[in-house]
Amino acid sequence: MGKTGKKFCFFLTLLLFLLHGTVPASGKTRSFERCCCEQEQILQIPATWNALGRIATGPTASRQDRPPAKDVSILIDTTRRTLTVLFDGRPHRQYPVAVGRFETPTPLGSFRVVRKAMHWGTGFGSRWLGLDVPWGLYGIHGTNKPWSIGSYASHGCIRMHNRDVEELYPLVPVGAQVIIIGNPFTYREPPFRDLRRDFCGSDVMEVQRTLTRLGLFKGKTDGTWRWDMEESVYRFRAMHGLSRDNVIDKPAYRALGF
């Protein structure tokens, strides 16, 4: 096959991915990693995402020859530790990042950039993009520990090389969507922590969503276990013959289907 034919096949494959979310592979459709998002949607990420990221960082994607985007969004994959900038839904650039440690995981879901600042504070590098996570202060920022990039190292924020966050900063407006994917349970070690009153995190949010679908929880699904979640947990445990306790433990996880 000549160079023209190869280029045609490549761009046809990329077009199929962008339009339909699938990439042909040996006559079959590749499976995608599934993840829950804020609006109860399922986001799918292709197995070839890293390859697309390399394309997105190539010379054809430089800031000089890309037209202005009407919509800029960010996709962060906590499993692969990558941040991908999307222009009008298409991958533009991809960067390596550090995400939260197992005991302080990065929040998962769909959020928005609500503030931007330069030289925001010690340890946050040269740029800060704050997110509207309901249960804490989290953001995308630079770092004075560049060796941590590519690992699970932060208190939940997304760390970038300063040169990368400085390139990202002018591209992303306040209000831009930031989707963070991963598994809220197997992300950490051990995978399932016992959840109780005043706990917060992506795992609490998934429990709230499940209790809401079961008609047991009427409160705000925001990832924070407040007083209004107590009775829902008591009722759920009683329904499944579990001891009366305000805890989501291993038996409760099993009953929830997690």
Please say if 155 is a catalytic residue: no
CA distances from 66 to 51, 59, 70 (A): 19, 10, 12
For 256, the 3-state DSSP assignment is helix
Please say if 157 is a catalytic residue: yes
H or E segment at 52? helix 49-56
Q: Residue 200's beta-bridge partner residues?
A: 224
Asked if residues 84 and 179 have their Cβ atoms less than 8 Å apart, the reply is no
Of 35, 36, 157, 200, which residue is the catalytic one? 157
Q: Which residue shows structure tokens 């499993």?
A: 79
Closest CA to 30 of 43, 17, 42: 17
Report the alpha-carbon distance of residue 62 to residue 181 in Å, rounded: 26
H or E segment at 129? strand 127-131
Of 141, 155, 161, 240, which residue is the catalytic one? 141
Phi and psi based region of residue 178 (left: phi greater than 0; alpha: psi -120 to 50; beta: remaining)? beta
Report the alpha-carbon distance of residue 62 to residue 74 in Å, rounded: 17
Catalytic machinery residues: 141, 157
